[in-house]
Structure 1
Amino acid sequence: MSVLTDVQQMEEDLRHRSEKLNVEFKAWMDISKSNKDGQAKIARHIAAIANYGGGRLYFGVDDDGNPEPLSEAFGPEHYRSDATHNLLKTRLGPALQCEVHFTEFTNGVTYPVVHIPSHGATPIGAKDENSFMHVYVRSIGPESVKVSNYQQWDIILKRCMRFRDVEAVQTREEDDLTRTQAMTKAITESVTASVLKILAENMGLAPAAGQDVDWTTIAALTEGARQEFVRQINAFDFGTTETDQQVREIADKHVAAGYALLGAESNFLTLERPHRLLREASEEMDKVASFGWHDFIVLTNSDVSPRTRLWFIDGKDITGVEGMRVDAKTIYFGEYDYWRAYGNSVFVTTRAGLFYVRSYPASLK
């Protein structure tokens, strides 16, 4: 569904010449601190719309949905964001962050529009003119009324519980991610310590890499994988959602890391059957890490499984194994990433931004 502009949204809301449960019309009116009745009325409507699930409140529109001429007494500056937010801060509980848009309508008049989000895990209350707090809901009319029967409580509390369920799932995911990161760190430190111990006891520490390392080849192979990663991102059919825009930025905001296994003379080691080696490593890592091995993970699904490839890079034919191509994925495990394991033991990972496991639209398949 396409996103409407502010003007298109206002035209849609005014089209039927009547209010809806998620839309309230108000004539130009005083919402300053000196008008407690006016502030209480606006707070009541905003709380009720939030408890309904969110919506909009228009100033300068009569009850029949007719936009009024510009008011000399209450111009748009009277409804500026800081004045509206002060009203919300003193009259609503818990706090609710609304956005005030100033929409220049087709008649040339600018109208303040308060965009109201949904309540969260608890209902939104509003103080009346005597500063007593009440919970309001939208009712047929439409109008904003105090909760007065169990059916009204049932509807709003069920919606609040759904928010709490979402928060609980997010908390569990964050806890799982934290535990996985801690486990991965512990495994990495343990493996590193074991390898260094074996080297020290049996072979002596490996010589430090000097100027004889072929950094030019490592850099070229790293850049080759990075350019392919960017090409895959740019090939996406981007939409207009916030997630689409985040993915679009990956072409400019990502990181590539390349490293190699070197022999005693700082020469590249040849990988025999790299695909089999990666699969065995992935299977072993899966036994000790519940979230799997992030780098060079080998899946069994033939549609996305890594495969052997031949590349021409830096004037040389290079063979190796290519990871899951980004533009072939429908499920992302932790990150958007792409990797290569070259036959000369150079390994490259390219990735961007941490994401929770999620499905991406069919346009990216």
Structure 2
Amino acid sequence: MRKTDLSDLVDFPRETLDVELKGWLDLADRVAQAKLAKHIAALANHGGGYLVFGFQDDESVAPTRPVDLSAYNRDAFSAVVKRYLTPTFQCDVSIVSATSGLDYPVVRVPSHGAAPIAAKADGPADDKGRPQGIVSGAHYIRKTGPESAPAQNAEDWQPLIRRCVLADRDALLSDIARAVQIRIEPERPGTDAVLAAWHDASANRWAAIVANAPTFDWPVDISANHCQLSYMILADDGVELPAGELRRTLEDANRDVRQTVWTGWSMFYPFTRPEIAAALHPEHDDGSGVEVLESNLIGDGSFETSLPDFWRFAADGRATLLRPYREDRRSGISFSGRTSGTWLSPETVLRETAELVAHARIMAERAGGTSVAFRCTWKGLSGRMIDDFGNIYWSPGRVARADQRTTSGTWDVPAIVANWHAVVASLACPVLNLFNFEGCGEQLVAGLAPRFVKLSS
């Protein structure tokens, strides 16, 4: 059984501002529905999060486990949202397997948009006529405890209003970009050498880790078949992120990235499982350099993960991730009928580049950055053919003859906000062009973007 970051929620259950644990509920009960609506509204107003069923408040496994989990489905939660909340939105539901072998329902709650989520109806009245679970007109948020409670003062409202303004700003800038056809030129001399050195040094560190993992098992040569996605935040006075806060900062950024890409296997995700938890390291093996938060999902080669990622995030705003291709997993054969190492998914290339760009933009905003430089490398392309997961059909017979492609560019943060589709296209389309893939551009990225927030293979 392969692990995902959703599995982390059930292997190590914990209530946080992003996660609400619930026991086994009768979802047909109106009081239970009203209480769930309150938590869903609060998570949405927090910027998104998860409802995890099957656990008690003390994080122990809940008793009286139902035999059938089919009642925990998307339609059931959609009905709760429609009955009690406005504006309405869609929650996704996944049945996630824990290491114990037990399955648990996990509800993925998206963020609010330009308007906060409000309760539009009272919950069922108790014997004294008081509404139970939820009160019409309230705007619920996540508070320390954690708990879901109405926003009551300026301190409660400030982060919610800020996210609403940012959501409205992003939409407005995107509209302006489309209306006036803003051209974004990836030109910023003087940064390529620094980012290239970080990119290459991180690749060498990863190669050494792979070489020292004697039991690591992957269907193809991972050192020759992988992508590396890097960025560097730039600011007039440099970037300084407190090393001791990097984990929490990345957790917060991960929540915000979900508005653009949300697959169940996030980039730069700081797992809590002890053997794969991110840890601080010095930048260089001799102990010098800035502090770097590093996550190694290869280890000694014995870990079971969905993808054996290796990533590093430096306190000065440099980041890199090395990842083998999803298409090369043994499970990939069941999707395409092709053997590992023989195909590449255009949607995955574009989606992962979009996730990198979204992550970089969000971290730059948090760090006070003015622009972001990117460097992306894909290796092991020669002989691969275009194909895809799911129901996307691309014309057959498109095979790459070149084995690798590196792209780079630097964009101001407002330009990334205004037209991230163009940034993604500039970085990713040169890879697909090696396959004689016609029509790759910002319009294709924009057309595929709604698929980026659905659980992927």
Higher relative contact order (CA 8 A, sep 6+): 2
Larger Rg computed on CA atoms: 1
